[in-house]
Structure 1
Amino acid sequence: MAAAAAVGEMAEAAARLRRLMAAEPSTRLESVRALTGLFRQAQPREMAEESLFRDLLEILMRASNEIEQACKDFSELLDLDTCLVLIAECFRCLRNACVQCAKNQHVMRNLGLIATSVHLIKLLDGMPVKEEPLLIAFRCSLQFLGNIAAGNGDSQNSIWKCAFPDLFLTCLTYSDEKIVAYCCMVLFTCLNSEKVKELLDPGNLSVALHVIKVYKEQLESEWSVTFLELIMAKVSEKNTFTNEEMNVFLRHADFLAGCFQEKCKTVLKLTSAADAEDEEALVTIRLLDILCEMTSNNGQLKYLQTLPDLLETAIDTLRLTHLAGKQTVNIFTTTHSMTWQEEVSHPAVGFKAHLIRLIGNLCYKNKENQDKVYELDGIPLILDNCSIDDNNPFLNQWAVYTIRNLTEQNERNQELIAQMEEKGLADNSALESMGLQVEKQDEKLILRSARKKPS
């Protein structure tokens, strides 16, 4: 009985909307609202006819014309709220009709509802008044795009063609948090391997960086890690940067570094097994990976070396995680007992090693940064990490690399390490693994390469 009633209600609501197409917007609103409620059920969705969606398309197109006219003549804004409420309800209706219904998705796309929706969103963005009815219509339009794209490659391609990158940039920089979140939803629904390549084109990278900015400011975006993965994939490519690409990354290098500096302490949440998937911490880990890769490129390294706060943050974070690992047994504790499966299962595996790698990169042939590590008492900290650690693959190798960069043509740093070795504060075997040895010459301790004989 319920199914038969739904069929009857559906036919009646569609017919009523058809009869009222020439009526005032407030009169059509109730008919659309009834359809919105019906489309919460699967059977009415499946039985909806193309003519119904043509009527909804016509309403939206009329609304677009009214808004365009209102933008030209401010006096026409008197009845705008009613128009906006009707737009929002049409999008709710279309949104509900798309749920798990590929038939309706295809019909709507073929009618041109995606292009009409994108055009209408642009008009809404251009409205001089940003009040609640407009925001609701804006949000519902993006929800519709998200639903028509869900599981439908043709619709995803159509949205991408109409909306990328301009509409996404518009929505990602909007002042309303829900609009930003729904925009992220649409963007991620549309992404595939080919679109990722387009996304990471130098001219479009700002879209990805805006999502990171959303994360930084709102701390609600579940898509930040994925975007960082995309950027990581790009910066990890060797010898593929054009001058234009290099300039793009340099323009945003300090932003990425700033994100890392602001959120770096969130990794300490990972000392608790319950927080192993904390998103802030995961984003911080990926930011560190990106900074390590960027500082492995000479062009980007020279710029990042000029950011003294980045080096200080890396040392402070290394100190905090190293201390946390000594206070209790957690992911930052040095261990030799993990299996390979356990090693790769935790997101913070390798975090301390990457911090040391970043420090080493920032000190490469840079006397000012070498001295800063000395002043921040970072050398003993790095020497204390010259060990094998299953939680940090290649930790010892990165420590070796960093100590070499810290001591290259820097007598004060060499002397400090030599004094530490004499006092038993530095492990001589660790120094030997670095190819270094301490010698006493004229009552002065000298750190030399073990492969070279003193002159």
Structure 2
Amino acid sequence: MAAAGALPAAAASPEARLESVRALAGLFREAQPREMATESTFGVLLEILMSTSGEIEQACKDSRELVDLDTCLLLITECFRCLRNACVECTKNQHILRNLGLISTSVHLIRLLHGIKIKEELLLTALRCSLQFLGNVAAGNGDSQKSIWKCAFPDLFLTCLTYSDEKVIAYCCMVLFTCLNSEKVRELLDPGNLTVAVRVLKVYKDQLESEWSVTLLELMMAKVSEKNPVTSKDVNVFVSHAAFLAECFQKTCEAVLKLTSAADAEDEEALVTIRLLDVLCEMTSNNGQLECLQALPGLLETAIDTLRLTHFAGKQSVNVFTATHAMTGQEEISHPAVGFKSHLIRLIGNLCYKNKENQDKVYELDGIPLILDNSSIDDNNPFVSQWAVYAIRNLTEQNERNQEFIARMEERRLADNSALESMGLEVEKRDKNLILRSARKKPS
């Protein structure tokens, strides 16, 4: 290939190498030059990267070394652009680059660049191109994905996710998710590696970039939903991140109200809120994680406030939060917010499980009538009646004030008797007291 022959050896001047590599990167934007590329071409690029990284390392060790770091960075950037372009829809080049060791060399260079003080814009551009190369060499190539994971996980991802540059973070997430399969998901969500997953979510929380967060929450949801997601010794690791997930939910919860508009049915921030709620429901269903979440300031209040807002929104106009009984049983609602109010009630019930302080808090926030008002069958919220039963029973267990409050609501006809009956509850008078109890079965 003529372009390959035009590449000078690594010993040539940095300026000559830079000019030649930049030209080759331009050629590799086209399919035919990519397909014609030879192993020797990529071998020269590898030599350039290795010699340039050696120069940078030497300069870092000995400040007396006269090394033009700016030119070195530009050369590294163009090499990665060239390699990035060479991988596009070209499995042959992906295999050649991996077999030459360019994946491990790239990971080493990224770590090296992270540790030196140089012009920020030149550094960020080099990092962006290096991560783009790793993403492209991994695309649709299982062997390359394994190689990247072996070299880069978890340290490289933790390093790149600390940058404030949105493109570095986005490309890092791209590499991470390109490499994931069922085996690597288990490794990613292992309590010892959970910091990587939480770092991705923290990026979302700080920068409102939710594309990767939705996918990651889906994976976390699958993990925490397992019957035995963690061993007893690992519970503390999950608990240490529970507060962060709850904080994310508290910050984004009102975004779900965007879903009252059909035009915003796929709003990513709202989708993250929905999946955060699902994860919190599962975490509070685990005794090892429940106590930590019950003690978090503001989580219960947020759940009640969000239930109140969505309930009100459903009454203001006809939308996904409006209670409906129009389904025939054969239709299926695919809107992402279906079940959201059910899950809010489930979370409230979980947070009140054998917890007197939270039981009383729901009373003080006027949450009991709100739950009862959302206890009727609703096609937009499957199993809402069952979750309301669960919540009311947790609210009233060994809590006489809450029991009496609900009983007096019934006596004054402020509560719908049919709702209590549908929940399997009834009010009974004992002397001067009103008692809420499980309904007695009527003879058939």
TM-score by length of 2: 0.96
Q: Does 1:89 align with 2:78?
A: yes
> In structure 2, which of residues 310, 321, 342 is the aligned counterpart of residue 321 of structure 1?
310
RMSD of Structure 2 on Structure 1 (CA): 1.6
> In structure 1, which of residues 122, 126, 138 is the aligned counterpart of residue 127 of structure 2?
138
Look up the match of 1:331. Answer: 320
Task: Kindly provide the CA deviation profile for residues 174-219 of structure 1, in whole angstroms up to 9, marking residues without a partner as x.
Answer: 2322111110000111111111111111111111111111111111
Which deviates further from its counterpart, 378-387 or 405-414?
A: 405-414
Look up the match of 2:173. Answer: 184
Q: Partners of 2:88 and 2:411 in 1: how far apart?
A: 72
Runs of at least 4 residues off by over 6 Å: none
> Counterparts in 2 of 1:198-277, with a 5 A limit?
198-277=187-266
Which deviates further from its counterpart, 273-282 or 219-228?
A: 219-228
Contact 2:404 2:436 in 1 (8 A): yes
Q: Partners of 1:123 and 1:92 in 2: how far apart?
A: 18
Look up the match of 1:6. Answer: none
Shift in Å at residue 77 of structure 1? 6.5
Partner SS for 2:388: helix
Look up the match of 1:14. Answer: 4
Contact 2:214 2:272 in 1 (8 A): yes
Contact 2:55 2:67 in 1 (8 A): no
Task: Kindly provide the CA deviation profile for residues 287-306 of structure 1, in whole angstroms up to 9, marking residues without a partner as x.
Answer: 11111111111121111111
Contact 1:292 1:357 in 2 (8 A): yes
Shift in Å at residue 444 of structure 1? 4.0
Which deviates further from its counterpart, 408-417 or 282-291?
A: 408-417
Look up the match of 1:106. Answer: 95
Task: Kindly provide the CA deviation profile for residues 140-196 of structure 1, in whole angstroms up to 9, marking residues without a partner as x.
Answer: 110110111111111111111111111111111223221111100001111111111
Partner SS for 1:345: coil
CA 1:339–1:219 in structure 2 vs 1: closer, same or farther (change >3 Å)? Answer: farther
Give percent identity, aligned residues only. 80
Q: Partners of 1:297 and 1:77 in 2: how far apart?
A: 60
Task: Kindly provide the CA deviation profile for residues 69-90 of structure 1, in whole angstroms up to 9, marking residues without a partner as x.
Answer: 1211234375100000000000
Contact 2:210 2:272 in 1 (8 A): no
Q: Gaps (5+ residues) in structure 2?
A: none
Q: Which amino acid aligns with 1:63?
A: T
Task: Kindly provide the CA deviation profile for residues 262-319 of structure 1, in whole angstroms up to 9, marking residues without a partner as x.
Answer: 0011100111111111111111111111111111111211111111310000000000
Q: Partners of 1:134 and 1:339 in 2: how far apart?
A: 60
Look up the match of 1:171. Answer: 160
TM-score by length of 1: 0.94
Shift in Å at residue 439 of structure 1? 3.1
Look up the match of 1:398. Answer: 387
Which deviates further from its counterpart, 128-137 or 92-101?
A: 128-137
Shift in Å at residue 343 of structure 1? 3.7
User: How many residues are treated as equivalent by the alignment?
Assistant: 441
Q: Partners of 2:152 and 2:69 in 1: how far apart?
A: 25
